[in-house]
Amino acid sequence: MKYWTSRPILLALVSILVIVMLVLGACAKAPAPALAPKPAPAPTPAPTPVRTGTVEVRATDAPPTGVSKIVVTTSNIQVHNAAAPEDSWITVVDKETTFDLVAIQGAEVLLGTQNIAAGTYTQIRLDVSKVVVTLEGKDVTAKLPGEKLKVVRNWEVKPGEKTILTLDFDADKFVVVTGKDNVQVKPVLKLDVTQGDRPLKGKPAGPPAPAAPQVLRANLASEPATIDPNRASWSQERTVIMQVFEGLLGFNQDLTLKPVVAKEIPSTANGGISADGKTYTFKLRDNVTWSDGKKVIAKDFEYSIKRMLNPDLAAEYASFYFDIVGSEAYNGAAGKDEATKTSLKNALGVKAVDDATLQITLAQPRPTFPQLMALWPVYPVREDIITKFGDKWTEPPNYIGNGPFLLTEWVHQDHMTFKANPAYWGAKPKLTEIQLKMISDVNAELAAYKNNELDLSRVPPGTEKATMADTALSKEILRYNELTTFAFQFNVTSPPFDNKKLRQALAMAVDRVAFVDKVRSGVGKPAYSWVPPGMPGHDPNLGKEYDFNPVKAKQLLTEAGYPDVSKLPELKFQYSDTAGNRLIAQFMQGQMKENLGINLTLEPMESKAFTQMVNQEKHTWAWFGWGADYPDPDNWLPELFGTNAGNNHTAYSNPQFDALSKQAKQEQDNTRRLQMWADAQKMVMADAPIVTMFYRERFWLMKPYVKGLKTTGMDGVVPGDTFFGDVAIQK
């Protein structure tokens, strides 16, 4: 992560474009994947034609202020084929190349060439072994992160066609100058994929086209239940909030922390964290303003945090912040008189020391507390606005924020319109407008995309394979892994789901492999445990006892007291009534009938009504998903399975789990902490309050003229919603 001191040196954008031209051919360094087409048999062997592509490095931006050279040494560029084992990589460039980013403005640097087999590729990685920055005449060797730089994204190498992979270093995370003798490098890569030749910069193919309107059109899929940052918990709500508000801290594309409204990330070294780990001091930037021009001050954060913890607000994410002194007592005072509530509120460990200083005191250390302070429930909100407009404060034009966009229009159940915030204190967004539709039917959404009414679109479940085979749409696929798990959740206080043996039987009666293949068209991976791949704490072997086994499921059903399923009470399954969810519900209904002889009753509901039903824990058996708020297992376990936790909608309660979670949240040793979370996850899986189904892989369509979209494993309902300010429309 990057740190800015009192002597920041602004670095202008430095792009490193690595273009890998990949064509069909024999790959000398790795066998062709199973997906590659097999050549017809010939009577005599014929030499394989050698058709090579070119790897180029280009930079075209102005040199950074105060920096005369940025000399980068790279080597060992590799790609990964989807059909190959996880540890099998194909090397496309193996030589070391050194180049000066400042000196090669507009020029081309050839790194090497290689042939590669046709097929689906999922990743590209490379080594950056050394970076030397010449700052005010002095060479400083940068500190490197140590690991290979990697981009995870799927792309196709097609027979007889050229594929261009453009690796682009995110400049503001590439070279961070924090002092003449201290240069830190945390490179982040993004990847663009195109077919065919691309004109070089500085050599345009014909006269420049007129500038395209900078309007991005996407789909929320449904009406948000709330867009109040203190109350929001669902992905649609998050997508809206991320455009209008910014917090003290935030996440980079690689999910490392970054300072946003805060000048720096608190640490013991900079005095932001006390020696005992219990007091955090945030220093605010002095140039951050609200969209109406008023300055953002520490008091705005104090008010927001205390409001989020107010028991009358019933914020689902309040329990995330129970480490703050007095927070749990205040949040649990719903039945107390106003005088008691006021006293508890005043005792909270949250204080604006002055306009530029916020101090938060914890009851015990929490290693992941900085990540919690990057989440939307503690974004600043305006007390005067909320006092004046009450529940209407989230309606435009009352919805005052400090982010890059303004909510200017909300036609309920139809669409939202956002305009660039002219008073935004940070880098001005490239987009002038964002339009978010509320099309619940994914088929209608795709039709709007094909009719050029949307720039991004979901793909109807079950059509992914057909989309990949489509000549036009296959070139517009946006596909990447998410830190998201989907599951069926039981209300364990509602009979017969209060019977653990019954829940375990249902978990074993579901064929997850068939689900991913038939319902998801092979997009995603079967899930047997809760914490997803790519997260610390993921255990690929956990939960395998719930692998598809109808015989064992029937045995457990007998042990549960139901040898005759006709004696079983009616089982009802609730879900938000969308095309995708209907397929899921029908699949589950078929599985129960086929494997256990159970007639499952389906109860589709309007999206907002379903959300409210689950939040109030009035459901019995429902479909749900959880995406990471921050990349740590303590975001996946205590807040969803802890007794009375705000996001615990299974009503699951296990005192042993609660005790272990409390201990893990305070543990300073990371190895021991992760082991505690591993043990806690085992408890949850053994008790089966949920049936994990699949780890989601995002599979969308995106128009080729949408440039600069930065996706992460923690995106909201719309891909790349954290970084819409970097998106541009280039038609």
Mean local confidence (pLDDT), 547-564: 96
pLDDT value at residue 637: 95
DSSP string, 194-246: EES--PPTTS-SSSPPPPPP-EEEEE-SS--S---TTT--SHHHHHHHHHH--
- Same CATH fold, 490-696 and 246-380? no
Q: Domain segments of the chain: what residues? A: 17-195, 246-380, 490-696
User: If you ran DSSP here, which 8-state letter would residue 362 be given?
Assistant: B
Buried residues in 399-411 as b, exposed as e (16+ CB within 10 A): bbbbbbbbbeebe
CB 677, CB 641: distance < 8 Å: no
Residue 192 pLDDT > 70: no
pLDDT value at residue 621: 94
Q: Which CATH code of 3.90.76.10, 3.40.50.10070, 3.40.50.2300, 3.40.50.720 fits the domain covering 246-380?
A: 3.90.76.10
pLDDT value at residue 203: 36
pLDDT tens for 450-478 read 999 999 999 998 899 999 999 999 999 99
User: If you ran DSSP here, which 8-state letter would residue 537 be given?
Assistant: T
DSSP string, 604-636: EE-HHHHHHHHHTT--SEEEEEEE-SSSSGGGT
Name which of 185-199, 403-417, 639-653, 713-727 the model is least confident about. Answer: 185-199
User: If you ran DSSP here, which 8-state letter would residue 663 be given?
Assistant: H
Mean local confidence (pLDDT), 216-229: 96
Residue 119's CB: how many other CB atoms inside 10 A? 21
Mean local confidence (pLDDT), 542-551: 95
Confidence of residue 99 (pLDDT cuts 50, 70, 90): low
Compute CA distances 35 → 25, 102, 120, 382, 524, whole Å: 14, 42, 8, 56, 18
Residue 312's CB: how many other CB atoms inside 10 A? 10
Averaged pLDDT of the chain? 83
Residue 130's CB: how many other CB atoms inside 10 A? 16
Residue 373 pLDDT > 90: yes
Note the CATH architecture for domain 490-696. Answer: Roll (3.10)
Name which of 25-34, 109-118, 253-262, 716-725 the model is least confident about. Answer: 25-34
pLDDT tens for 136-169 read 667 777 766 666 767 666 767 776 666 666 665 5
pLDDT value at residue 81: 77
User: How long is the chain?
Assistant: 731
Mean local confidence (pLDDT), 640-659: 94
pLDDT value at residue 58: 37
pLDDT tens for 321-357 read 999 999 999 999 998 999 999 999 999 999 999 999 9
pLDDT tens for 688-698 read 999 999 999 99
pLDDT tens for 279-322 read 999 999 999 999 999 999 999 999 999 999 999 999 999 999 99
pLDDT value at residue 114: 66
Confidence of residue 384 (pLDDT cuts 50, 70, 90): very high
Question: Beta strands of 60-175 (E only): which ranges?
Answer: 67-81, 90-93, 97-100, 109-114, 119-135, 138-141, 149-157, 163-169
Name which of 30-34, 386-390, 643-647 the model is least confident about. Answer: 30-34
Q: Which residue has the tokens 């079983």?
A: 568
Residue 16 pLDDT > 50: no
pLDDT value at residue 14: 31
CB 280, CB 360: distance < 8 Å: yes
Mean local confidence (pLDDT), 403-408: 98
pTM for the whole structure: 0.64
Q: What is the dihedral angle through the alpha carbons of 317, 318, 323, 329, rounded to the nearest 10 degrees? A: -160
* Distant-in-sequence contacts of 709-712, Cβ < 8 A, 24+ apart: 709/478, 710/170, 710/190, 710/253, 711/153, 711/253, 711/478, 711/480, 712/251, 712/253, 712/255
pLDDT value at residue 125: 80
Residue 40 pLDDT > 60: no
Residue 415 parent element (H or E):
strand 415-420
Q: Which two three-digit tokens encode residue 43?
A: 């009577």
Percent of the chain with pLDDT over 90: 65
Residue 69 pLDDT > 90: no
Rounded to a whole number of angstroms, the distance between the first and last alpha carbons of the chain is 34
CB 521, CB 614: distance < 8 Å: no
pLDDT tens for 102-131 read 554 444 455 566 667 777 777 778 777 777
CA 322 to chain centre: 24
Mean local confidence (pLDDT), 623-629: 91
